[in-house]
Structure 1
Amino acid sequence: MAGDWSRYWRSPGRRLEAMHAHFERHAYHRHSHETYSFGVTDDGAQAFTCRGAGHTSTAGMVMAFNPEDPHDGKAADAFGFTYRMVHIGPELVADVLTQSAGRRAAGRRAAGRRAGLPLFAEPVVHDPVLAAGLRRLHAALLGGAPALLGDELLDAVVLAAVRRAAIGGPGQRRATAAPAASAIARRVAERLHDDYRTDLTADALAAVSGSSRFAVYRAFRAMYGMAPSDYQRQVRLRAARRLLAGGAPIAEAASETGFADQSHLTRWFVRSYGITPGTYRRGSP
């Protein structure tokens, strides 16, 4: 892809990742992450859909995605966009908030803060202070800064994001789904997780949910923001990521997670994450 480039870093022991990229032609397929994902647009404009609406992030704006927020993304014009992204595991966010609560209140509410992770109402935020903090953290991670400095910058970014952009404690982003539909979607999701290697049919999902194929599709889209087929592919990709992070060869990761072959895994890995499986496996720029 002419003009497109990316750099990537992955922590070997924690769910903490960073990416710096410029895309003109690459378009992200709809996907989500298990992590909180915070990004800053450096140049240009990125257009994406998230939570049922279209958004555009231009230079200086912050993107804030909750875990499991489905989104896509592409350049808003022919000039492309440059951005940096940091993915932070929910457990790391919980640890920072717990430590912060302990410092302020001698641990009185530490357990409660761990249970109540923050949510971000808007996927695009104009906040120069938060953007500057994210740039400092991102530069430290990709630049090989000392571990202590990286931890300090991570703490500062999490606290700044929660204080400046979060809407508070626990909530249900998809609370509008009817209880019956939510139950259908959860049963289908459990089956997709349990049998992600299997080439499941729509009839099989309807049978496990006790409803029609149409009801399954409608309930699943309402609850998870994507079709069951996209969700199954995402579960497979996440399983492949875990194998690759452990050093598995790409071909082995593909065969173990239900992809037809290495090229099939590579194609969807790039469409969903903007990097190749080999880049992810190496875990450094």
Structure 2
Amino acid sequence: MASHAFKVKRITDLGVEIVEADSDRQFVRHMHDHFGIGLVVHGAQRSASGRGQVEAHAGDLISVNPAEVHDGKPIGDGARRWHMLYFSPQLIAENFADMAADLGSRPCELAYPVLRNRQATVLFGTLYQTATQAVEKSSQLPFEENLSLLLEHMLDHTVSKPPVSGAAASRAKAMIDDDPLAAVSLASLAKESALSRFQLVRAFARLTGLTPHAYLIQRRIQRARHLIASGVPLAEASHASGFADQSHMTRHFVRSFGFSPGIYARQ
């Protein structure tokens, strides 16, 4: 049975377009005006790219640069399914500029039309989920830091400079510690540390073992646990801890502690 289904969603605040596709059709040579990174979820396809003809199978990451001519046809008789994120050129250019200091030169394109890398695949999955579940401005920080980490895998690397000191990242950590309810951005944390956003994410992870957003969530969930233990109602505790709503708090509470805020409140 023929298969051809597309879902498209634009998240203007994040500068990204989400495409979920399931198709057995062949696509003619064409190009996009955005950077695209995606994951083949099922099946396989063969396509032209700026680096020659490539094959992508389930579990592989795929990418395309603006104005890069490519096509696509399924391998075998069945359809292939894939998820794509298309980023505005401006957004990627800003990230490339941040990465220049560490990479030795400023990147200009995504290097791998097909990439099989477990860590990169996990990062893409997190990034895709963040984009698809975007809620107001609360998604900005995790989206920015996961994009920065993912892009590092999608580039050819020259000799990198030595890691920056932990003292710089400590200033960003202190900024979160001083006001964990503040709606911080990766740009504001980087400015406080006098680092690029790319440098900050890596330096912060070396310092704390967590990305800035993951650390911020832990500070908020600790505050929520303290409030709940003090008898504050769950809805009020979630609001007072910086979460979008009670379900948002509950999701992170369970992930961190293994039990729900409701169970904790009854103890």
Question: Normalized against structure 2, the TM-score is what?
Answer: 0.51
2:48 partner SS: strand
- Aligned partner of 1:38 in structure 2 is 37
1:136-169: per-residue Cα shift (whole Å, max 9, x none)? 22233233x2244532343234322332230259
CA distance in 1, matches of 2:156, 2:22: 30
The match for 1:137 among 119, 127, 141 is 127
1:149 to 1:43, Cα distance in 2 relative to 1, 3 A: farther
Q: Aligned letter for 1:160? A: L
Given that 1:133 and 1:153 are in contact with CA atoms closer than 8 Å, whether structure 2 keeps it comes out as: no
Moved more, 10-19 or 50-59: 10-19
CA distance in 1, matches of 2:96, 2:51: 29
Query: For the aligned residues, what is the CA RMSD?
Result: 2.9
Q: Aligned letter for 1:151? A: Q
Q: Aligned letter for 2:68? A: D
TM superposition shift of 1:117: 3.7
- Aligned partner of 2:10 in structure 1 is 10
1:260-279: per-residue Cα shift (whole Å, max 9, x none)? xxxxxxxxxxxxxxxxxxxx
1:59 to 1:19, Cα distance in 2 relative to 1, 3 A: same
Question: Normalized against structure 1, the TM-score is what?
Answer: 0.48
Q: Aligned letter for 1:7? A: K
Q: Aligned letter for 1:4? A: H
**When the two structures are aligned, how many residues end up with a matched partner?**
158
User: In the alignment, is residue 120 of structure 1 matched against residue 114 of structure 2?
Assistant: no
1:72 partner SS: strand
1:56 to 1:149, Cα distance in 2 relative to 1, 3 A: farther
Given that 2:96 and 2:106 are in contact with CA atoms closer than 8 Å, whether structure 1 keeps it comes out as: no
CA distance in 1, matches of 2:43, 2:112: 20
Given that 2:44 and 2:75 are in contact with CA atoms closer than 8 Å, whether structure 1 keeps it comes out as: yes
User: In the alignment, is residue 158 of structure 1 matched against residue 147 of structure 2?
Assistant: yes
- Aligned partner of 1:95 in structure 2 is 94
| Percent sequence identity over aligned pairs | 19
TM superposition shift of 1:98: 4.6
CA distance in 1, matches of 2:111, 2:96: 19
- Aligned partner of 2:22 in structure 1 is 22
The runs of 5 or more residues in structure 1 that have no matched partner are 102-108, 170-285
